[in-house]
Amino acid sequence: MAEMDRKTVGIVGARGHTGAELIRLIADHPALELAYVSSRELDGQRVDAHVAEYAGELRYSAPAHEDLPALGADVVILALPNGKAGACVEAFGKAGANPLIVDLSADYRFDERWYYGLPELTRERWRGQRRISNPGCYATAIQLAVAPLKDLLAAPPVCFGVSGYSGAGTTPSDKNDPEKLRDNLMPYALTGHMHERETSAHLGVPVEFMPHVAPHFRGLTVTCNLYLARAMKRDEVMARFHHAYGTEPLVRVVEEAPWVSRIAGRHHAEVGGFAMSLDGRRVVVVATLDNLLKGAATQAMQNINRALGLPEATAIPQQSPPVHA
**pLDDT single digits (tens) 75-121:** 999 999 999 999 999 999 999 999 999 999 999 999 999 999 999 99
pLDDT at 4 over 50: no
The reported pLDDT for the residue numbered 170 is: 65
Q: Where in the sequence numbering do the catalytic residues fall?
A: 137
Q: Give the C-alpha distances (Å, rounded to integers) separating 310 from 44, 137, 217, 317.
A: 33, 24, 32, 15
Q: Where are the alpha helices (DSSP H) in the chain?
A: 17-27, 85-95, 119-122, 137-146, 178-181, 194-203, 234-245, 298-307
This prediction has a pTM of 0.94
Phi and psi angles of residue 105, each rounded to the nearest 5 degrees, phi first: -85, 180
The reported pLDDT for the residue numbered 319 is: 66
The reported pLDDT for the residue numbered 178 is: 85
Could you state, in order of their start, the residue ranges of all structural domains in the chain?
3-107, 137-291
- Range with the lowest mean pLDDT among 4-8, 60-64, 205-209, 279-283? 4-8
pLDDT tens-digit readout, 154-173: 999 999 999 999 977 767 77
> Could you tell me the pLDDT band of residue 174, with boundaries at 50, 70 and 90?
confident
Average pLDDT over residues 34-51: 96
> Could you tell me the pLDDT band of residue 298, with boundaries at 50, 70 and 90?
very high
Superfamily in which the 137-291 domain is placed by CATH: Dihydrodipicolinate Reductase; domain 2 (3.30.360.10)
DSSP secondary structure string for all residues of 136-172: PHHHHHHHHHHGGGGGGBSS--EEEEEE-GGGG-SS-
Which of 107, 114, 116 is CA-nearest to residue 83? 107
Please give the Cα distance from 245 to 234 (Å, whole number): 17
Average pLDDT over residues 167-188: 84
3-class SS letters over 82-102? CCCHHHHHHHHHHHCCCCEEE
Average pLDDT over residues 208-215: 97
For the domain spanning 3-107, the CATH number is: 3.40.50.720
pLDDT at 324 over 60: no
> Could you tell me the pLDDT band of residue 15, with boundaries at 50, 70 and 90?
confident
CB 250 within 8 A of CB 269: yes
pLDDT tens-digit readout, 114-151: 999 999 999 999 999 999 999 999 999 999 999 999 99
pLDDT at 2 over 70: no
